[in-house]
Structure 1
C-alpha cells in the first residue's frame, strides 16, 4: 500500500440531508493533507467513509487505485491508522497491550513487536521501559495522545487518519505534538489526512489544505496559495486573521522538528515556550542551545536554525 487516495463524486446522506455532497478529492502518497472547516461541515464523515465505518450514499473511494470495498473490512481497518480527538486507548489494557494489539492481530513475531514499539516510544519521548506497564488513567492527556500516535504507526500503515487529535490539549502541549507529528511524518513518509477546525493548525501542518463548508469542498491548495488567493469570501474569512507570523510569535518548540534529542543536561537551556528571537540571541553567544519540552530535550545549532528558516520562508 502506497497511501494514494482518490474520492470520486462521493455523497453521504443522513436523515434525508447531504452531509457530504459530490466530493472529488485526490490525496497524494506521502502527503500531509489537512481538511479544515466549521463544525458540521462533513470533515469527520469523510474520514469515517474512508475507513468504512460508514458507507457513501453515492460515488466511490479508491485506495491505491482499488475501490475500498474490494478490501475486506477487517484488513482495511488494520491497514489504516486512526487517531481520534479523545484518546481511544482501551482502559483495561496497559500501554504495551494497547500498542501491540494490531501487530499481534497481524501475527507479527513478539520480538518484532517489542523492537518496533521501543523505537516508536523513544521517538515520542515515552521510554517503553518506563511506560509499558502503565494504564491510560495513569497518563496525562498529552501522553495518551502520544501513545495513540504510536498505536496508529506501529503496524507501518501507509494511510493515517487523524480526527482533531490535539484539540482537547493545552496550547503548549498541542504545539509540541504538532511539531512531533511533522517530524514523524518526515521520517516515516506515511500519507496523513488530518481534520481540524483550527486555521493556524491547518496552515502549520498541511502540505495542502482542503476547505469544507456544509458538505462541499470549496478549495484545495497549498497554505500560501489559500492565504493569498482564496476561492471565495468564505475561504478568505476563515484565514483573515491568520497573518504571516513574525519571529516574536513563534515558539522555540517548532525547531525540534529539525533537532536531535539528547540526554545532556549541561548547557544553555530554553523551554519550548521561548521565542525564536530568544533562540537566535542565545546562538549568538553559544554554539548550541538546548530546548526542553514535554516530549524531551533537544539540541539546536545554527544549522538547525537555518533548516527551519528555509521552511519558514517558503
Structure 2
C-alpha cells in the first residue's frame, strides 16, 4: 500500500438490547466507544442507550432509517473507503433483520469493505425459544404486507408450510393480522404472541390463533413477535374437512374458486381434487 493510501474501514452490525439496557455486552460497549461513525435507526434512542450503559464515544452519530437509507448509504460507503469504522445500530436487535442495514451491507461488500457484527439479542430467536412450539426448523417472515388483500394472499401461501413461522407486527395491525391468520390457517392452529420480550412486564400468550386474536383485541400495544406452528402432515383432516371449510367460506360470500384455493393452501389438500369434489357436492361437473 502506498503511504498516501488509506486502509478501508469496516462496517460493524451491532446487536442492541431488545429489552433492558443491561443486556448490552462488553463487545457492544467497546464497538460504540471506538466507532468513527454510528449510523443509528433512531439517534435519540441511541443516545439513551449510551447514557444508560455509561459509554462515552467521540463517534459522529447520524440517523439511518428506512426513510433515508437509500440516500445515506453512498455517503457512508465513501466514509468507509476513507478508512472509517461505521457501527450500525437499530432500535433493538440485529440490523438488517427487518431493520436498516441491508443496503449498507450490500454496498460495502460491492466496494470491497469488510463487514462484521457484534452479536446480540434477537426477538426472532427469543420468541421462538419461549413459544413452546417446535424450534428445530423455522422460517422468518418478518412484517407481512400492511393491507388486507396482499397479507391474506401471503398467509394463504404459507398454509402448507410445515416449519414454525415467525412474524413481526405493529400494534395497530395486530388484530387484522390475526383475523387473516385465523382465516388462512384455521382458528385452532397453535401460536404465541410475544410482546416486550425480556422486560419485567413482558407478555407471552400461548394458545390457538382464535384465543390470541381475542387477547390482542384488548391488549395490542407495542410491536409484537408472533410465532405460529407449521402445518402437521395430517392437518386439515382430509378431503371431507377441507370441503367443510370451503362450504363455510362460500356461505360467507366467497367465490368457489377463491375458497378452494385458500383452503387447499391451508390444508395441503390438492387444489384440483378439492375443486372437483366441491363441484360434485353442488351438482356440477
Q: TM-score range by the shorter chain?
A: 0.3 to 0.5
> Structure 1 or 2: larger strand share?
1
Larger radius of gyration: 2
Larger RCO (alpha carbons 8 Å, 6+ apart):
1
Normalised TM-score (structure 2): 0.32
TM-score by length of 1: 0.30
